[in-house]
Amino acid sequence: MGGNNLNNYCIVAITILFMIQEVDSLHCYQCADSENGGGCKDDIQSLIDIRKTFENGSVVSEQTDPDIKDCSQFSEWNVCLIEEIKTRGEMLSYIRDCSDGLTFSFDSDEARLLRGLKPNNQTTCAYQKQGYQICVSICNTDLCNGPSNSAVVPLVTATLIVCLWFVFLIQ
């Protein structure tokens, strides 16, 4: 009898955690470079430090950290973006930001391959007539347009493991 109550509590707790994640706004890294060796593309440790602060529950905002943006401030911006433009092997632009997934810093009519991208964090590249290589990836989870911190276990996963452990312990 007590095991069934615990199972019900676990299901309710997991459901609430999933609902909380849906309500949260999307946060993306925001920065830009216009040359090779710039911090936006290459300073990975700073981006990891921002992620750790964010995942530890500390308040991170544009006011406390200019390299992060709350995309919920913009009604259609529902994905994070990485956009890179090169010509002859030289980087012209590297951007991390929020996006609507349809509008970019370049003329997308000439780069038709980049229309209708899925937010799966897979990079897709196209070439423009002028010789520019444009690569874009979009994603829809917090800080997905930067390095991931694989050492941090998400709260939902940890809760599920603990609940399952209790279920097996009681039986």
Q: Locate tokens 């229309």: which residue?
A: 115
- Please report, as a single letter, which amino acid is at residue 137: S
pLDDT band at 122 (very low <50, low <70, confident <90, very high): very high
Burial 56-80 (b: 16+ CB within 10 A, else e): eeeebeeeebebbbbbeeeeebbbb
Range of the domain at 136: 26-147
Q: What are residue 99's phi and psi, to 5 degrees? A: -160, 165
Task: Note whether residue 37 is domain-resident.
Answer: yes
Q: Does a structural domain hold residue 160?
A: no
Nearest to 104 by CA among 130, 73, 88, 125: 125
| Statement: residue 139 has pLDDT above 50 | yes
Does residue 170 lie within any of the structural domains?
Answer: no
Average pLDDT of span 134-145: 95
Q: Note whether residue 12 is domain-resident.
A: no
Let me know: does 67 contact 46? Beta carbons within 8 Å.
yes
**Residue 138's beta-bridge partner residues?**
81
CATH number for the domain that contains residue 117: 2.10.60.10
pLDDT at 167: 66
Q: Is residue 51 part of a domain?
A: yes
Average pLDDT value for the chain = 79
Of 60-64, 82-86, 97-101, the poorest mean pLDDT is in 60-64
pLDDT tens-digit readout, 22-45: 446 899 999 999 988 888 999 999
The pairing of strands 90-99 and 68-70 is unpaired
pLDDT at 145 over 90: yes
**Higher-scoring residue by pLDDT: 3, 115:** 115
User: Would the pTM of this model clear 0.75, i.e. be above it?
Assistant: no
Q: How far apart are CA 116 and CA 146, in angstroms?
A: 21
- 51 CA to centre of own chain: 10
Q: What per-residue confidence (pLDDT) applies to 25? A: 84
In a domain, 167, yes or no: no
- How many domains is the chain built from? 1
Has residue 146 got a pLDDT over 70? yes
Question: Is there a domain that residue 5 lies in?
Answer: no
Give me the mean pLDDT over the 41-53 stretch: 89
Considering only residues 18 and 95, tell me which one the structure prediction assigns the higher pLDDT: 95
d(CA 5, CA 157): 21
Does 18 reside within a domain?
no
